[in-house]
Amino acid sequence: MSPIKGVAAASKKAKFNWHDTKYMLAFGDSYTYVQGTAGRQNSTFIGDYFNFSFSEEKLLSDKIVQNQTGTAEGGPNWVEYLTGCGLKAGLTSPLSCKTQLWDFAFGGADISTKYTPRHHNYTVMLEEQVQQFLTYAQPTLSNFVEPSKTLVAFWIGINDINDSAKYAVDFPVFYDELITTLFESVQSVYDVGYRNFLFMNLPPLDRTPGNVLKPTPLPNTTMINWWDDTLSSHIDVFNMQNPCANAFGFDVNGFLNGVLDHPDKYGIKNVTGYCKSYDQPYVDTDPEAYGCLPLSEYAWFNDGHMTSRIHEVLAKEVGQFLKKQ
């Protein structure tokens, strides 16, 4: 694929410097999406499968929405905490942020319809997110986004491993096929000039409030480890095949298992349940009215997502990790 306007391919490997990073591109699912004024409610910053294209004007006028339903976590998520973009209540233009966040993740996304079905007919899968970015966003962003000062983040697999948990397949082989497809999309982003990549492995899905009650949780710890090991191997191969790449894998699973094992260090009081009224009006400001702890004292926001507080803790650790790379 030839480089798109405004992005020159690097001739030699440049060092990654988190302090110099001014832009972040994000792809993934509900753990990463942010609500946009030009996006589908509870799903995305911009567009959906039926509104796949967008103009330069629509992209640049789009704003991040921060309110009780602006993410899947009941508050800011990890990419917002990591960049500081979109943290304030109300509307924020990525253009106004010190580190601009351009988020193409979609709530409910898997990697590809080749392996798992869409959660909704409007869901944009990961490989489609990248296609959408390259076709409609990159021609605009290439005018001011500098690849050398950009971090491209991928956090995907949560829905894939949940949706396929009961498939009659050889899971290590199946996960390898899924992640191979993921890296085909990653390669296409590299091919237009981006060099700095962050990959997040799976959160502790074996310890969700629903799974801890089951004698045989799905996905189980073994399945999660298979996925994470496969992802790590693909990161290594990607770096070898693309000598100019700075591709890092952050061990979400290891870190968040540590948080769940030692919650007191983070002010967390409940790691096995969640507030059943998490989606009710004003539960974030008056949790006692619903018989709940403050939401920041739960590890889990609901049975599938972790709280904004956990995302805050995670982002701080990711930031420290990136400073060392």
Give CA–CA dist 130/120, Å, rounded: 19
Percent of the chain clearing pLDDT 70 (strictly above):
97
Stretch 123-151: mean pLDDT, rounded?
A: 98
Residue pointed to by tokens 């004698």: 215
pLDDT at 25: 99
Share of residues in the chain with pLDDT > 90 (%): 96
Instruction: Indicate if the pLDDT at residue 9 is higher than 60.
Output: no
Q: Is residue 283 domain-resident? A: no
CA distance 173 to 183: 15
Residue 181: CB atoms within 10 Å: 17
> Which tokens go with 77?
């998520």
In a domain, 28, yes or no: yes
Average pLDDT rounded to a whole number, residues 293-308:
98
Q: Does residue 4 carry a pLDDT above 60?
A: no
Whether the predicted pLDDT of 5 surpasses 50:
no
The angle subtended at Cα 68 by Cα 65 and Cα 74, nearest 5°, is: 105
Give the model's confidence band at 2: pLDDT under 50 very low, under 70 low, under 90 confident, else very high.
Answer: very low
What six digits make up the tokens of 85? 């973009």
- Residue 174 in any domain: the answer is yes
The tokens describing 278, both together, are 């998490």
Q: CA-CA distance, 5 to 83, in Å (whole number)?
A: 26
Residue 132 domain-assigned?
A: yes
Residue 7 pLDDT grade (very low, low, confident, very high; cuts 50, 70, 90): very low
- What's the structural domain count of the chain? 1
Average pLDDT of the chain to the nearest whole number: 96
pLDDT tens-place string over residues 36-73? 999 999 999 999 999 999 999 999 999 999 999 999 99
| Reported pTM | 0.95
What is the CATH number for 95?
3.40.50
Q: Say how many C-beta atoms besides its own lie within 10 A of residue 20's C-beta.
A: 10
Window from 3-7, 34-38, 169-173, 297-301 with minimum mean pLDDT: 3-7
**Domain of 129, in residue numbers:** 18-260
pLDDT for 250-284, tens place per residue? 999 999 999 999 999 999 999 999 999 999 999 99
Identity of the amino acid at 34? V
Q: pLDDT tens digit string along 203-243?
A: 999 999 999 999 999 999 999 999 999 999 999 999 999 99
The β-bridge partners of 291 are none
Let me know if residue 8 belongs to a domain.
no
Pairing of strands 64-66, 90-92: antiparallel
pLDDT score of 13: 86
Asked if the structure places residue 267 within a domain, the reply is no
pLDDT score for 232: 98
